[in-house]
Homo-oligomer: A and B are copies of this chain.
Amino acid sequence: MLIKLNQNAGNEVLGLLIARLTSLGLHPCVSSDGTHTIVGIEKELSKEAMKEISSIGGIHEMLPFSTPWKLCSRAFKKEKTQITVKGVTIGGPEVIMMAGPCAIESEEQLRSIAKQLAKARVKVFRASAYKPRTSPYSFQGMGVEGLRLHKLVQQEHGMLIDTEVMDVRDVEVVAEHVDIVRIGARNMQNFNLLKEVGRCGKPVILKRGMSATVEEWLMSAEYIMAHGNHQVILCERGIRTFENSTRSTLDLSSVAVARQLTHLPIIVDPSHAAGRNDIIPALCKASVAIGADGLLVEVHHTPDTAKCDGKQSLLPHELAQLVLELDAIARAMGRSL
């Protein structure tokens, strides 16, 4: 159940409400939809409890939900959420191209790739300073120094920048440096990290976990929203199956299913799903056609010497060519790119 407070409801009302709900054995979460403070709880209150809660005053409405996800549901908000950062709108008519290297390796590398992508309608320049690596002995990312370079190079190309955050202790510094914070597939159910990005004030790309159902994916978005941050962008990136011709199996149906259930923008990362660059253009086309609001594509200027995931990276000029082909499909869909 969601309890929406009046616009002018003060902290005292909120405090009384929280205390009352807690005394009922509930675990209220507080966020805001921009105009109203919203308090979420797991279950529907009984009629008696609702009556008693109402008597506190300052309550706008009490919204019941049949689904375990509430704030991110279509039932809570009918129209699609649009997230606008520095003039770029994710979730609007335009399909947003996000691209860049897997890892930040050097200033020169970022500069070289960014220069070419800025000319290819890329709106968000992705690159990671912290890398989740299967082996403890592998390159773990440049860390804060990488964040600094990311921001430094941004001054030249002007694209938005996004990066992955893996550790609750890094959320603050990451949010200071980039425009969009990204939660990787392995951390989709790192609930404390979700809570922290719920408080970070920047839009969050939430990748679907490799073995997460659509419902669990939405519940993780709900975590971020319930802890204060309604600017969540869902990102499908493939699930684990028996099929081994691709690294994961890109589940494009999930985009269509999630679209029915939530108002949040949904993007697709075909690079990590495929793990091979030859089918990335085809997967991008399918993603645009199924209604994705954006694409997250790995691009590297020298894939053979990339510190990670070179095999799945496109070259900058391949991306530029692909963008033209995607634009045609976006237009056939009544959108642009």
Contacts and interface: CB of A to CB of B under 8 A. Distances in A.
A289 interface: yes
Nearest to A238: B253
Nearest to A329: B332
Contacts of A189: 132, 134, 186
A41 to B, nearest CB: 5
Interface string A67-83: 01000000000000000
A306 interface: no
Interface stretch (A56-64, A106-114, A152-160, A240-248): A240-248
Contacts of A333: 285, 328-329
A243 B254 contact: yes
Q: How many copies does the complex hold?
A: 4
A118 interface: no
Interface in A315-334: 328-329, 331-333
Given A134-B216, A211-B211, A289-B286, A252 B254 contact: no
B253 A283 contact: yes
A75 B190 CA distance: 33
Nearest to A211: B211
Contact of A249 (B133, B222, B251, B287): B251
A135 interface: yes
Interface string A207-229: 00111011110010011001100
Contacts of A257: 245-246, 279
A219 B133 CA distance: 10
B68 A286 contact: no
A251 B243 contact: yes
Contact of A279 (B28, B187, B213, B253): B253
Interface stretch (A120-128, A137-145, A293-301): A137-145
A209 B166 CA distance: 17
A315 B29 CA distance: 33
Most interface-central of A134, A191, A289 (chain B CB within 10 A): A289
A192 interface: yes
Most interface-central of A187, A257, A290 (chain B CB within 10 A): A290
A91 B257 CA distance: 30
A253 B241 contact: no
A240 B242 CA distance: 6
A282 interface: yes
A256 to B, nearest CB: 4
A136 B243 contact: no
A27 interface: yes
A176 interface: no
Given A246-B257, A255-B282, 11 more contacts: A27-B138, A40-B137, A42-B137, A136-B222, A136-B223, A213-B242, A213-B244, A241-B242, A242-B242, A257-B279, A289-B329
22 contacts: A26-B137, A28-B137, A40-B136, A42-B138, A134-B216, A136-B223, A166-B190, A167-B192, A190-B190, A214-B245, A240-B242, A241-B241, A243-B251, A245-B257, A249-B251, A252-B286, A253-B273, A253-B279, A259-B282, A285-B290, A289-B289, A329-B333
